[in-house]
Chain A
Amino acid sequence: MQLIRRAALFLLLPLPAVAGVLPEDRGDLMYHYYDGGGVTIDGPSVLVRKKFAEKYAVNASYYVDMVSSASIDVVTTASPYDEERTQYGVGFEYLRGKVTYAASFSNSSENDYDADTASVSISQDMFGDLTTVALFFTRGWDDVTRRGDALFADEIDRRIYGVDVSQVATKNLILGFAFETITEEGFLNNPYRQVRFLDPDAATGYSYEFERYPRTRTGNAFSARARWYLPYRAALQGDYRFYSDTWEIQSNTAEVAYTHPLDDEWTFDVHYRFYTQTAAEFYSDLFPRENFQNFLARDKELASMQSHTLGFGVTYEFKPAKFEFLGKAAVNLKYDRIRFDYGDFRDLRPTGLAPGTEPPYQFDADVIRLFFSGWF
């Protein structure tokens, strides 16, 4: 189901290339696990990068989500379900002087959603290699269907324009700035989700009808970040992002992260992230009546909300004796705890309450990544 519908766009979206130097030859094998809000998602992920003649590099990725969902939406309006999503991606990079050209493609498929994404980028070092400027363009084509409804089929056409600047400010400080414009056209809502409206004839006092979203959406995101090298060999990073779109969602994201190596073998990470957003203009937890307005949404991703994340990570690097082709290897474990608090999305599980007086919904999520990295 389209719980994870934007996955193809963002999960393995190729990043703008790093100019001047190609990524290291590296392979990662990861197990990922998410558990929160009645949803459990886990599966493997593989990412391999290999360069040739210091001028060319290729990468390939494979990713699986195995979903078991009894989310608040499913519990209140549908039945729990299990499903699987598979995604693969391939990419190519060409380094010429101080310019890196990159192109990539990925496909994501699940039983009711198929997405193709293609991206190109150009990246250049300039001003004594202190500045890197990257421009990229991404195009996405999604096919949306609905299980149990052979007559329903629709599409999404997506374009992303982005610029990313990385700047060495001092010998201990790097700055980064990014701007992206995302435009989408097509069937943008989840075909399963419904809105509720007051209905005096219903036993609960409300009934449901399907969501209706506008068929276009354009959003702009700007971010700034800084990373400091501390005097005792550690790193401190701060990030801020502002987002605004034509559905009148505005959000602010702030994050601080700290990295602390210990000897040559251990690296510890800790970070905190805060996110807040306003609701879409056509969102309501409870509409006054059926067909109250042209566009209707009760998707909690479009509600006013906040999230807090506290995360930890540990990496152990070693030289594997049994696999001589690996120059070094690492075992990594990362854990994040996320708290989601919704301002105007109510928890309908408690019964006997008047419509509109239910408590706001909130949940905690545990996110784990356990992965092995090898450099060859």
Chain B
Amino acid sequence: MSRAGSIALLIALFALGGCSRLEPWVKPYERENIADPIMAWDRDPVSSSYMRHVYESREGARGASGASGGGCGCN
């Protein structure tokens, strides 16, 4: 199959996937541990942003080091 054909097939599969409802495999009542404050990516933003600054000022690499997003569905 050509590359274009493969990409078209992938897009079609994703599109079909959108027709079926995805069942969350971790139910809302099973998210107690995930919702615990100790599981936060970034518990203290004032401190973690400062540490990013410390590193970015002294190293050549930057980016993709922020802790963000929640995704725990805890609300």
Contacts and interface: CB of A to CB of B under 8 A. Distances in A.
Contact of A21 (B34, B68, B75): B75
B73 interface: yes
Nearest to A3: B57
Given A129-B24, A130-B24, A227-B41, A243 B66 contact: no
A277 B71 contact: no
Interface string A89-130: 000000000000000000000000000000000010101111
Nearest to B60: A249
Contact of A241 (B25, B54, B64): B64
Interface stretch (A199-207, A208-216, A218-226, A318-326): A218-226
A280 B60 CA distance: 9
A178 B61 contact: no
Interface stretch (A74-82, A149-157, A332-340, A348-356): A332-340
Given A11-B52, A125-B73, A168 B34 contact: yes
Secondary structure class of chain B's binding surface, majority of residues: loop
B44 A251 contact: no
A275 B51 CA distance: 14
A189 to B, nearest CB: 13
A171 B34 contact: yes
B38 A182 contact: no
A256 interface: no
Contacts of B72: 129, 168, 174
A176 B41 contact: yes
Given A4-B57, A167-B71, A13 B31 contact: no
Contacts of B61: 219, 221, 241, 243, 249, 251, 253, 275, 277
B63 A34 contact: no
A6 B25 contact: no
B70 A32 contact: no
B15 interface: no
Contacts, number: 215
A307 B54 CA distance: 12
How extensive is the interface on chain B, given as a class? 35 or more
A154 B66 CA distance: 29
A235 B22 contact: no
A59 B52 CA distance: 19
B66 A178 contact: yes
B69 interface: yes
B51 A123 contact: no
Interface in B11-60: 22-26, 28, 30-34, 36, 38-39, 41-47, 49-60
B38 A243 contact: no
Nearest to A11: B53
Given A15-B45, A172-B33, A221-B61, A30 B50 contact: yes
B71 to A, nearest CB: 3
Contact of A221 (B28, B49, B63): B63
B47 A174 contact: no
Contacts of A365: 54
Given A171-B31, A174-B34, A275-B59, 19 more contacts: A6-B57, A9-B56, A11-B49, A11-B52, A15-B42, A16-B66, A129-B72, A162-B63, A166-B41, A176-B41, A219-B61, A220-B63, A223-B65, A233-B36, A275-B61, A301-B59, A340-B58, A365-B54, A367-B51
Interface of B: 22-26, 28, 30-34, 36, 38-39, 41-47, 49-75
16 contacts: A10-B56, A11-B50, A20-B75, A21-B74, A162-B64, A168-B26, A174-B34, A176-B41, A181-B63, A219-B63, A259-B43, A280-B60, A365-B54, A369-B50, A369-B51, A373-B44
